Structure 1
Amino acid sequence: MFYGTVVWDPWLIVAQIGCIQCLYYLTLGIFLEILVGSRVSRMSLVYFFDYATVTASTVSGWCVIASFLLSSLAG
């Protein structure tokens, strides 16, 4: 119905989901590098996955929040 005459292909759907996830984390990494990378001495995966870095009490926390919002808008 949604795919026209193409048959149901679950591997294509899984590949598309994987590509969207990769693009999201790529844009998040770019925004984090631009906004947070200038404020911290060393970037790490903590800024990607740790909820404690998403805080409104520090400037770096606001940059992390802005990075997540910008990457979601880019997606």
Structure 2
Amino acid sequence: MFYGSIVWDPWLIVAQIVCLQCLYYLTLGFFLSVFVGTRVSRLSLVYFFDFVTVTASSVTGWCVIASFLLSSLAGRWIYALFD
């Protein structure tokens, strides 16, 4: 059970949210380094947070899109482990 079976524990919920966010960004960083890091000379935080890099007009943009999709699927798999 996600919220705990005995009591309402908001600190547990916050800790789980933080853990899932950290795991999401770790997997996103891994997939970006695998797919985009091989195509660009310098990988930066722009690929994490700037929507301009998510474009279908270049191969690098498709690699960014694939990284976001794969990290969301990995996050769903991780969430399923906790549930």
TM-score, length-scaled by structure 2: 0.85
**C-alpha deviation, 1:49, in angstroms:** 0.2
Superposed, 1:1-75 pairs within 5 Å as 3-4=4-5, 6-75=6-75
Distance in 1 (CA, whole Å) between partners of 2:9 and 2:64 is: 37
Aligned residues: 73
Structure 1 runs (4+) greater than 3 angstroms displaced: none
**C-alpha deviation, 1:7, in angstroms:** 1.4
Counterpart amino acid of residue 62 in structure 1: W
Q: Larger C-alpha radius of gyration, 1 or 2?
A: 1
Counterpart amino acid of residue 70 in structure 1: L
Counterpart amino acid of residue 61 in structure 1: G
SS at match of 1:39: coil
Identity %: 78
Q: Which runs of 5+ in 2 are unaligned?
A: 76-83
Q: CA RMSD in A?
A: 1.0
